[in-house]
Chains A and B, each alone.
Chain A
Amino acid sequence: MLGTENLSCIFKREFKVYFISPIAYVVIAVFLVLTGWFFFSTFFLYNQAQMRDFFSLLPIIFAFMIPAVTMRLFSEEFNTGSYEILATLPVRFIDIIAGKFLAAVSFVAISLLPTLSYAVFISFLGDLDWGPVIGGYIGALLLGGAFSAVGIFASAITKNQIIAFIAGMIICVTLTLIDKLLFFLPESMLGFFQYIGADHHFQNVARGILDSRDLLYFISLIFIALFGAHLAVEEKK
């Protein structure tokens, strides 16, 4: 029995469950309405064929949306007791958490999919530079992954989904806005908080520049959050 088979079992189940309940469709609809409205309400005013505004909005929208997507992943299982079944099946914890994480990231990717039509639409209107658009989507996936991991951590600390959502949202909003909230700090310290914050790194990638420092930031955030989730679950044993 190889680990990857179990991982894909967990992934398939979690991913399917998103689309069994109406929550998925509601979340995707709200996401599209919000991004669509915020983006197109100013798009024609600026009269520029680019998606920068769309991507600059994305972190704060993700900070609210992704914790809602991930809140049930562990909390629901703790609450109904089904985690006892999952934890006593011959599955490694790493497969459980990786399966749940990939399901959440895939869900985020699915909800981003319809927004590709914005890019296609704009490319008809004017001369769209595809570099930042591709960078933006890569950044969106990295950011989605990091926020999903944070959301999973929040879900692993409580069996109450509402608390999981609020905790996840607070961490994600903080990561998004920290450098803007602390604008009064001296330059040297601001740099540090900028590095901690997710928005700065995301905007770098969205500009079409793939820097290893930004990649490293997102990947370490994912690892730290998932490891935190692992510790939170271990603590309950």
Chain B
Amino acid sequence: MIEISDLTKYYGDLCALDHINLTIEKGKILGLLGPNGAGKTTALRIMTGFLSPSSGTVTARGISVVDDPLGIKKMIGYLPESAPIYQDMIVYDYLVYISEIHGLSGSERMAKLQELAGVCGLRDVMHRTLHELSKGYKQRVGLAHAMMSDPEILVLDEPTSGLDPNQIAEIRDIIKKIGKEKTVILSTHILSEVEATCDRVVIINRGKIVADGSTDDLKRSSKSDYTLNLVIGGAGPAEVEEKLSSIRGVSSVGGGGPRSGGTAYTLQCDTGDDIRGEVYRRIKETDWLLLEYMQESKSLENIFRELTKEN
């Protein structure tokens, strides 16, 4: 659907994107993740034809954004960061204006406006001026704007930034609904958002792609050290440590804090091997009470920090 090859962008001497290669399939929700200033917005702006690349190409269905920007713009619905829509217009007038630019005729337009007002929850604010609206509503108007032409590709730059938790949940639902048929590319630095909505995650840092895959892929592929949380009763810390630290793959036994009915321990495991069975077998040999037993896999947050930390 979208092919990005060797995309590079310089702002003066500053390299914002450094030879990015990416292929995005149809009907997927792609999350672009990265710290501030990683190049997310720059990448989206080039895709939508707002900025021109220093070198490299972006094509969607074979149409190049440099050669035929208008062709690409017809295909893409774009919500820029913080939805900078015209503040001096009434929501209804604004949406009519956008629909006119997309060439919707009278009857089509009314149907589309009705539909979008419903989907984006705008019915109550249709006749308010945009500068009176809260950030959440502006964001929704921006979303309605982006979906006006029924675009095949929806590009959303931080669609949920500045919203309250209810609004975030609503906008995520909308995005998921759209993502079933359309290609959605969204940028964010909120990790839970990616886990909740995206089929695929691309992490960029300093203009380079540092990870690419589904959230599960990423969790699996990272150097998989994980922790086991145990609560054991009827044994002293020294005893437990002696017994469990000899298992192959356990790098440390920590904790020893009191917990209801026993003592809590955390086992750091540094290999990919599954040691859960072995730990249980060892405990079974004794007369300890195993009260809690839980594996904690590495969170996306840890992976993100690992991949994007400063050298």
Contacts and interface: CB of A to CB of B under 8 A. Distances in A.
Q: Are the chains A and B members of one assembly?
A: yes
Interface in A12-64: 13, 17, 20-21
B101 A88 contact: no
A88 B102 contact: no
Interface stretch (A77-85, A120-128, A205-213): A77-85
Interface residues of B, number: 27
B103 A1 contact: yes
Contacts of A88: 48-50, 73, 76, 78, 80
Nearest to B103: A1
B50 A84 contact: yes
Interface residues of A, number: 20
Contacts of B78: 85, 88
Nearest to A82: B84
B88 interface: yes
Contact of A84 (B45, B52, B97): B45
Find the residue from B98, B101, B102 having the highest chain A CB count within 10 A: B101
A66 B84 CA distance: 27
Contact of B49 (A5, A21, A87): A87
Contact of A237 (B51, B85, B97, B100): B51
A13 B74 CA distance: 21
A21 B101 CA distance: 23
B84 A81 contact: yes
A143 B40 CA distance: 45
A223 B95 CA distance: 32
A2 to B, nearest CB: 8
B84 A84 contact: yes
A5 B73 contact: no
A54 B101 CA distance: 41
Main secondary structure of the interface of A (DSSP, over half): helix
A237 B51 CA distance: 5
A174 interface: no
B101 A89 contact: yes
Given A9-B101, A81-B82, A90-B102, A20 B49 contact: no
A84 B80 contact: yes
B70 A92 contact: yes
B73 A89 contact: yes
A90 B101 contact: yes
Contact of A5 (B48, B52, B89, B103): B103
Nearest to B149: A90
Contacts of A81: 80, 82, 84
A73 B124 CA distance: 31
Interface of A: 1, 5-6, 9, 13, 17, 20-21, 80-82, 84-85, 87-92, 237
Interface of B: 45, 48-52, 70, 73-74, 76, 78, 80, 82, 84-89, 97-98, 100-103, 145, 149
